[in-house]
Chain A
């Protein structure tokens, strides 16, 4: 198991190295002059030349990449062009707020999705299962930005219960802080909750039909024990994979939801960087997001291995 973890960690490092190259290549090789992109199409040639000098754009590409990578490895994520501040602290600051948003949503999705899925599977064909199946079909299909707008219209404009957009630091009072978080978290969770519970239901149904569950029942074990000790752990394996995939969708959701709610997180920072052609900030933000995604996938694989005693990765290698 330890060898497996080390091997996977090495894999994450390689992936990050390769993605850093990919991000750099797309940003720098795609048609379009970076300096013009920053200064706008009416920039004077002198201004462009000065900026190119300042950004080191006259160096060969491999040297530019090397400077960037060396900087990142030393903890220097580059300089935001628009805000004229180091990108690292900006990203770290935004990342903290995004983590609260995404973390709460993910906890709701994981716990709620599994609970609802197991409930639906054990009540197959009954009213609650029927309602959930219908609801899941609708919820999977509704884009999160549309939920966001519905939420704002109903809870902010009509009922005046919650703030429409923005963010309040915890120092302003926990209630204000939580009320700004509530709508974004719900909007982020709702589609993924439908997705996870639906697939957990399918996995659970399959486990309940298996012979080991039949065996456990034949042994006279209590239904609760059959469910949670025999069926559920096996049904969790596909669910973990789904959770890992949904983590990628969650990142997409974070970008959209933060933009809608004007929530100052990493997603909004990325969109800001794109809108203002702040390429260093964009590169750094994307690299950080990719790293988080890679670590989440690693965590999913390790969870999978831990839950599944049949998988002896270390022995197989």
Chain B
């Protein structure tokens, strides 16, 4: 086992999980602090300080309105996190119950759920988001739902497959023999045993959810100005790239750091929970 593999966690479990999870936790703490405290007001104009290069007073410089880029990055951090993880929660909340139901019900209901999932999966991921955001005014909440819906069919299929395997197990047969109802079997017997692969899948998908969310808000279909969501900040910085590259580079590099942390943590989680990939 090579050092790189051990470090990056496709084989060894804990170091990657520890490193990625630690970095993610640090980013999350900074993001939460950023909701209430930033060195400067992230939306206050200071026209005389336009396009100041990075310095001690302004570590990431200032933008076209003289706003402190560091403060804006801080204030926007929780949005990128919220979109990625919020979307994952949306897909969990919809996908897992539907998948379990589809596994349990072999009649028309289960078939209908699976056909609906097939249909959703046959749309290119970004289109589903565009479709939902196109018709109504964009907002953070809608971006979360749009990104979340993209991953619902994947979770439906996964949790159905896991549940189908578990339904054959003795302890489920025993529960049936005891005369337990569908809700009880699914909630008390299946779900507690089904979660490891589902969590692993989520851990790996969060990276893509954050990316898709940032892409949508980069296209102007997420949080609206003067919010400082990172994708939006990068989009707004495009006009001034020649004069002030730091306005776009700062949120871009932070987004990359967040994505690397999430990705490494997700791989670590898989190595930990899914021995078949060890």
Contact = CB atoms under 8 A, between A and B. Distances in A.
A, B in one complex: yes
Interface of A: 15, 18-19, 22-23, 26-27, 30-32, 37, 124-125, 129-130, 133-134, 137-138, 140-146, 149-150, 152-153, 157, 202, 248-249, 251-252, 255-256, 259-260, 270-271, 273-275, 279, 282, 286, 289-290, 293-294, 297
B54 interface: no
A124 B2 contact: yes
Given A15-B122, A143-B255, A137 B263 contact: yes
Contact of B215 (A32, A145, A279): A145
B123 A19 contact: yes
Given A152-B241, A286-B131, A294-B122, A141 B259 contact: yes
A256 B231 CA distance: 11
Given A22-B119, A125-B2, A130-B4, A145 B218 contact: yes
Contacts, number: 137
Contacts of B53: none
Given A26-B135, A260-B238, A286 B127 contact: yes
A286 B122 CA distance: 12
Contacts of A27: 131, 134-135
A141 B209 CA distance: 11
B132 A255 contact: no
B215 A289 contact: no
B61 to A, nearest CB: 14
A259 B235 CA distance: 10
Query: Main secondary structure on chain A at its contact with chain B?
Result: helix
Interface in B1-31: 2-5, 8, 10
Interface of B: 2-5, 8, 10, 118-119, 122-127, 130-136, 207-208, 211-212, 214-215, 218-221, 231, 234-235, 237-238, 241-242, 245, 248-249, 252, 255-256, 259-260, 262-264
A271 B126 CA distance: 11
Contacts of B219: 255-256, 259, 271
Contacts of A22: 119, 123
Contacts of A19: 119, 122-123
B214 A137 contact: no
B123 to A, nearest CB: 6
A293 B130 contact: no
Contact of A255 (B126, B256, B264): B126
A137 B260 contact: yes
23 contacts: A23-B131, A26-B132, A30-B136, A37-B135, A125-B4, A129-B2, A129-B4, A130-B4, A133-B4, A133-B8, A134-B4, A137-B260, A138-B256, A146-B234, A149-B238, A157-B241, A248-B124, A251-B124, A255-B215, A271-B219, A275-B220, A286-B131, A289-B124
B241 A149 contact: yes
B238 to A, nearest CB: 7
A22 B120 CA distance: 9
A274 B221 contact: yes
A26 B135 CA distance: 8
